[in-house]
Amino acid sequence: MEKNSYQILIVEDEPGIVELLRFTLGDAGFSSTIAVNAAEARKAIARHLPEAVLLDWMLPDVAGLTLLREWRSDGRTAALPVIMLTAKSMDEDKVRGLNAGADDYVTKPFSPRELVARIHAVLRRNAPEPVRSTQTHGMIAIDSERHLVTVSNQAVKLDQAEFRLLRFLMMNPERVFSRSQLLDRVWGDDSYIEERTVDVHIMRLRKALGAAADYIKTVRSVGYMLDAMPE
């Protein structure tokens, strides 16, 4: 099968499983990169963000769960799709993995067809939503082609960063995003600005929205969301 553009990072130290994964992914049209321990995985992620990671629970240097928590605490990798691969089948272990931020959990031995289906499902869930030319949310309307925002039909002046921030929130109403996630999704993979900068842009955005400022809610100790039904 011709390869697609999806690059999958395999973090696994057992040679037999590595070869099975490499063959399975190649047959499904994916490209793959191999890391046999956490140190190699960190280097691979630093060089290039893959579309998804298959992460073994038991690695020779650092536990896969520890590595996953590192990625989830870093704005650059907070939204990186990760599927845990492990021989652990107890429900409490699955809960630990999911609570640490895993997108899915596959127990060894696994069905290659099931694994590919799970990868496709995770990629679909994490795919960026198409940007519609015009979007509305209560009093707010945004026209991406004209770079125009209105509140109750009155034009609102926003700079480029706040425009992108508002558009992203309007594409994902009622979903809470941490500051690091907003940095990654709105400012992009190459941005190294500080998380507190998000607070500044949120403050400016609220000020510009005026009567619609309450649409943007602060979720304490988590981040921000666009309220579907502002009071």
The Cα–Cα gap between 186 and 161 comes to 8
DSSP 100: T
The Cα–Cα gap between 204 and 213 comes to 10
- Model confidence pLDDT, tens digit, residues 72-118: 888 788 888 999 888 766 666 667 777 777 888 888 888 899 899 98
CA quadruple 201, 202, 204, 207: dihedral, nearest 10? 170
Residue 231 lies in a domain: no
- Looking at the structure, do residues 121 and 156 belong to the same domain, yes or no? no
Q: What percent of the chain has pLDDT over 90?
A: 44
Contact 202, 216 (CB under 8 A): yes
Q: Beta 154-156 vs 177-178: how paired, if at all?
A: unpaired
Residue 90 lies in a domain: yes
60 pLDDT higher than 70: yes
pLDDT at residue number 132: 58
- Model confidence pLDDT, tens digit, residues 159-190: 778 888 999 999 888 888 888 888 878 876 44
Residue 122 lies in a domain: yes
Residue 180 lies in a domain: yes
pLDDT at residue number 8: 96
The Cα–Cα gap between 215 and 14 comes to 50
Q: What percent of the chain has pLDDT over 70?
A: 87
- Looking at the structure, do residues 166 and 198 belong to the same domain, yes or no? yes
Residue 1 lies in a domain: no
40 pLDDT higher than 80: yes
- Model confidence pLDDT, tens digit, residues 113-135: 989 998 998 888 776 655 557 88
- Looking at the structure, do residues 148 and 221 belong to the same domain, yes or no? yes
pLDDT at residue number 92: 67
The Cα–Cα gap between 7 and 51 comes to 5
| 174: containing domain | 134-226
- Burial status of residue 223 (CB atoms within 10 A of its CB: 0-12, 13-18, 19 or more): buried
Task: Specify the CATH number for the domain of residue 94.
Answer: 3.40.50.2300
- Looking at the structure, do residues 104 and 200 belong to the same domain, yes or no? no
CA distances to 30, 80, 193 from 190, rounded to whole Å, are 24, 14, 9
Q: Beta 140-143 vs 134-137: how paired, if at all?
A: antiparallel
- Looking at the structure, do residues 177 and 151 belong to the same domain, yes or no? yes
Helix (H) or strand (E) holding 179: helix 179-182
- Looking at the structure, do residues 157 and 215 belong to the same domain, yes or no? yes
pLDDT at residue number 75: 78
Domain limit, last residue, from 71, 104, 126: 126
Helices and strands counted in the chain (H then E): 8, 12
pLDDT at residue number 191: 46
Count of domains forming the chain = 2
- Looking at the structure, do residues 147 and 117 belong to the same domain, yes or no? no
Tell me the Cα Rg of the chain: 20
- Model confidence pLDDT, tens digit, residues 212-224: 999 999 988 889 9
